[in-house]
């Protein structure tokens, strides 16, 4: 019964939670008895601003703001006037200010604006101020400038603005109005931007002619700005080259001129793009020309910015890679390229967003589309994501590092490189095996590079005719060779007569080499085996090999057997002493008694004089351990 009560209680709570949003969304008037459907809407339409409530209010706000700007020169007054206008495809603030001031200059030529010019508007969304049949001057000016209209439009909340079409006409037909006499307001045209002030200083001959609706003086300014940008590009690149050469000279490194020239190229282009973008903000060009040039400059800035950031990441990654190479751990050697590629991908993504913005590609619908198709993208990128997290797991768990000799599955070799998706292993056949990082999460990795010691186990076969004292001396002599050799482990080794083989007496040799890499291990194994051969020769011990001896004898009756004499009390010590002395005599004059051999240097020939360290081309002293395990 308790369980049923809990289920019923849960059902009640679920029903109340489901009902709560509907009750919350229903207005109180609709919940009351007799409420009408019209009163159930929750949408609240804001009241229009009083400054834009009617066409006359908008005109009054515009004229008041412009007159205050003429008097005070405050940019906030100009921005208030700009707010009364609508613009189409005009993103540059200076161009909007120019169009606004040109509209004010046109109104000054039309004449004083009166409130009675604006009769009440009844259920209309568009109001034409110029030309108006109620003003005689409008008719005369309309004949001088045919087809031009100043109109205001009402938006969805009831506020009036100068229409986009009017502001576009102001930008293209201002030159026709410029020649007319000023009838009201300031006796001189208002210049709000630097481009307008420059235009007033330009001779009238350069202002009157135009090509593709761009005046001649503006073409000259465009050419001058382009030359200034190219000059800045050259100057920035030269300064960066000079500074970088000084830095490299201080670090004692020589810089490749071609590499340096490619490295500084994007920074000069970025400086030129910034200059061109700043000059576009000055204004003076027609709106369509400014919009077209703005797109081009944004694309140049995006490309130059991504390119410069890419080179900067390369420079920073090179510094960190140099520092990582000086540390003992190799985890940072993996982390530096991983972070470098992540930052570069992020930079490219930002660049693509800015380029899309330059071409007015809507980003929000694009991202929404990616959200809708996110499931398909996730399935398509499943392996890539899995490999990426496999890389992260390898970095965190550190089962191996770059340069380690590993065995995973049937793959054996030296780790050469690790990236986002895959890891490359250089096999001992000098081939390269690439496998996905996702498999590392589930794979078993045997890391030979983490070994402190390298085991060597073998059986030395002695002839059955070897006397026991010789065997004892031989075993102790081998132990002494282990104790004397520079690369053998001294605290754990075994040399014992271990088995009676089919054709030999088998001596177990179980030792460890403390070698930094496989090449040194092979070299020291050879040294050890050669010394064992010399020891056997000194002691008169013969090695056995598979043979068959057939003894034919005639059984003789009555033959007496002479037993082997029993060893005396000092026999074992004499044998040990003989073996130790023989081993010490054998190894006493070896060159490695004075200088421990270093690593293997491939390609060098042995010294004909037999000098220390010349065997197998090994380097002496501090060169030990410099080679990897990839020589197998």
**Higher model confidence: residue 213 or residue 11?**
213
Using pLDDT thresholds of 50, 70 and 90, give the confidence band for residue 628.
Answer: very low
User: Taking Cα atoms as reference points, which of 467, 462, 466, 497 lies closest to residue 479?
Assistant: 497
- Does the pLDDT of residue 32 top 50, yes or no? no
Mean pLDDT of 191-201: 67
pLDDT-derived band of residue 459, with 50, 70 and 90 as boundaries? very high
Question: What is the number of H-type helices and E-type strands within the chain?
Answer: 20, 15
Q: Does residue 619 form part of some domain?
A: no
Instruction: Indicate whether 186 and 125 sit together in one domain.
Output: yes
d(CA 541, CA 462): 7
9-13, 154-158, 213-217, 228-232: lowest mean pLDDT where?
9-13
pLDDT at 309 exceeding the cut of 90: no
Residues 511 and 414 placed together within one structural domain of the fold: no
Residue 6 confidence (pLDDT): 44
**Dihedrals φ, ψ of 618, to 5°?**
-80, 145
Q: Is-contact 540 460, C-beta < 8 A?
A: no
Whether residue 436 lies inside any domain: the answer is yes
pTM of the model: 0.47
Do residue 461 and residue 429 come from a single domain? Answer: no
* Tens digits of residue pLDDT in 111-126: 878 877 777 776 688 8
Instruction: Answer whether residue 531 is part of any domain.
Output: yes
> How does DSSP classify residue 149?
-
pLDDT at 67: 87
Question: Which residue, chain included where needed, has tokens 């990236």?
Answer: 419
DSSP codes joined into one string, 437-487:
THHHHHS-EEEGGG-SSEEEEEEEEE-TTS-HHHHHHHHHHHHHHHHHSTT
Structure tokens at 595: 């200088």
If you average pLDDT over residues 440-454, what whole number do you get?
A: 76
Same domain membership, residue 229 and residue 353: yes
Do residues 178 and 266 both lie within one domain?
Answer: no
Reduce the DSSP state of residue 223 to 3 states and report it.
helix
Q: Whole-angstrom distance between the N-terminal and C-terminal Cα of the chain?
A: 76
Residue 147 lies in a domain: yes
Residue 365: CB atoms within 10 A of its CB come to 9
Structural domain boundaries enclosing 249: 218-361
- Are 280 and 89 within 8 A, CB to CB? no
Asked whether residue 429 falls in the same domain as residue 468, the answer is no
Instruction: Tell whether the model's pLDDT for residue 627 goes beyond 80.
Output: no
With vertex at residue 381, the alpha carbon angle to CA 376 and CA 386, rounded to the nearest 5 degrees, is: 135
Under DSSP, the state recorded for 155 is -
Backbone φ and ψ of 535, nearest 5°: -60, -45
Angstrom distances, CA of residue 330 to CA of 341, 400, 418, 530? 18, 9, 12, 37
Q: Give how far the C-alpha of residue 628 lies from the chain's centroid of Cα atoms, to the nearest Å.
A: 29
CATH number at residue 468: 3.30.70.100
**Mean per-residue pLDDT for 523-536?**
93
Backbone angles phi, psi at 354, to 5 degrees: -70, -40
The confidence score (pLDDT) of residue 592 equals 79
Mean pLDDT of the chain: 75
Supply φ then ψ for residue 432, to 5 degrees.
-115, 125
Which pLDDT tens digit goes with each residue over 36-93?
Answer: 444 444 556 677 788 888 888 898 899 888 888 888 888 888 899 989 998 877 767 7
Distance from C-alpha of 193 to C-alpha of 182, rounded to nearest angstrom:
20
277 assigned to some structural domain: yes
Token reading at 378: 């996730």
Q: Residue 572 falls within a domain, yes or no?
A: yes
pLDDT of residue 407: 84
Q: Which of 320-329, 378-387, 419-428, 497-506 has the highest mean pLDDT?
A: 497-506
Query: What is the domain count for the chain?
Result: 4
Residue 477 located in a structural domain: yes
- For residues 252 and 587, which has the higher predicted lDDT (pLDDT)? 587
Neighbours of 487 (CB within 10 A): 22
Q: 532-547, pLDDT tens digit by residue?
A: 999 999 999 999 888 7
Are 429 and 459 in a shared domain? no
Q: What angle do CA 86, 92, 96 make, to 5 degrees?
A: 40
pLDDT band at residue 554 under the 50/70/90 scheme: low
Q: Average of pLDDT values for 250-276?
A: 79
DSSP 63-112: HHHHHHHHHH--HHHHHHHHTTB--SS---HHHHHHHHHHHHHHHHHH--
pLDDT band at 374; cut points 50, 70, 90: low
The percent of residues in the chain predicted with pLDDT above 90, rounded, is: 11
Whether the Cβ atoms of residue 546 and residue 503 lie closer than 8 Å to each other: yes
């Amino acid at each position: 019964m308790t369980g049923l009560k809990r289920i019923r209680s849960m059902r009640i709570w679920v029903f109340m939670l489901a009902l709560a949003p509907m009750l919350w969304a229903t207005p109180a008037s609709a919940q009351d008895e007799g409420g009408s459907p019209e009163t159930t809407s929750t949408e609240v339409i804001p009241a229009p601003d009083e400054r834009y409530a009617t066409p006359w209010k908008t005109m009054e706000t515009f004229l008041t703001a412009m007159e205050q700007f003429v008097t005070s020169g405050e940019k906030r007054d100009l921005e208030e006037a700009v707010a009364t206008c609508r613009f189409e495809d005009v993103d540059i603030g200076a161009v909007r200010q120019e169009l606004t001031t040109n509209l004010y200059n046109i109104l000054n030529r039309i004449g004083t604006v009166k409130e009675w010019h604006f009769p009440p508007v009844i259920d209309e969304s568009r109001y034409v101020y110029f030309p108006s049949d109620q003003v005689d001057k409008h008719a005369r000016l309309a004949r001088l400038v045919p087809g031009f209209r100043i109109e205001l439009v009402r938006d969805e909340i009831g506020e009036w603005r100068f229409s986009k079409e009017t502001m576009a006409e102001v930008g293209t037909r201002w030159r026709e109005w410029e020649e007319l006499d000023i009838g009201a307001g300031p006796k001189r045209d208002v210049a709000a931007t630097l481009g307008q002030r420059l235009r007033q200083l330009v001779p009238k001959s350069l202002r009157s002619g135009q090509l593709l609706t761009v005046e001649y003086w503006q073409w000259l300014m465009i050419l001058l700005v382009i030359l200034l940008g190219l000059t800045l590009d050259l100057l920035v690149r030269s300064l960066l080259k000079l500074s970088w050469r000084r830095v490299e000279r201080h670090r004692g490194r020589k810089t490749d001129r071609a590499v340096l020239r490619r490295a500084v190229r994007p920074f000069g282009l970025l400086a030129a793009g910034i200059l061109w973008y700043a000059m576009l903000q000055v204004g003076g060009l027609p709106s369509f020309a400014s919009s077209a040039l703005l797109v081009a400059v944004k694309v140049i800035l995006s490309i130059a910015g991504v390119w410069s950031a890419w080179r900067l990441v390369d420079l920073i990654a090179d510094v960190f890679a140099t520092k990582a190479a000086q540390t003992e751990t190799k985890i940072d050697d993996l982390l530096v390229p991983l972070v470098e590629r992540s930052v570069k991908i992020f930079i490219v993504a930002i660049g693509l967003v800015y380029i899309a913005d330059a071409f007015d590609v809507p980003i929000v619908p694009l991202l929404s589309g990616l959200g809708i198709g996110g499931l398909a993208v996730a399935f398509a990128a499943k392996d890539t994501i899995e490999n990426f997290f496999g890389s992260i797991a390898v970095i965190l768990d550190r089962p191996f590092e770059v340069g380690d000799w590993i065995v995973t599955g049937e793959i054996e070799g030296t780790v050469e490189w690790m990236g986002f998706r895959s890891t490359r292993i250089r096999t001992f056949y000098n081939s390269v095996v690439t496998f996905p990082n996702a498999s590392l999460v589930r794979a078993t990795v045997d890391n030979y590079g983490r070994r402190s010691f390298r085991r060597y186990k073998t059986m030395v076969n002695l002839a059955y005719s070897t006397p026991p004292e010789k065997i004892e001396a031989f075993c102790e002599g081998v132990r002494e060779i282990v104790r004397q050799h520079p690369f053998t482990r001294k605290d754990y080794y075994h040399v014992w007569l271990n088995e009676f083989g089919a054709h030999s007496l088998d001596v177990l040799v179980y030792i460890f080499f403390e070698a930094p890499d496989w090449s040194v291990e092979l070299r020291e194994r050879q040294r050890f085996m050669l010394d064992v051969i010399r020891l056997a020769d000194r002691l008169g011990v013969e090695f056995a090999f598979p043979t068959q001896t057939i003894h034919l004898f005639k059984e003789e009756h009555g033959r007496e057997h002479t037993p082997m004499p029993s060893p005396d009390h000092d026999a074992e010590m004499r044998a040990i002493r003989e073996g130790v002395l023989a081993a010490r005599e054998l190894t006493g004059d070896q060159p490695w008694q004075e200088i421990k051999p270093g690593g293997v240097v491939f390609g060098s020939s042995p010294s004909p004089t037999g000098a220390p360290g010349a065997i197998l081309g090994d380097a002496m002293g501090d060169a030990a351990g410099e080679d990897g395990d990839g020589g197998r």
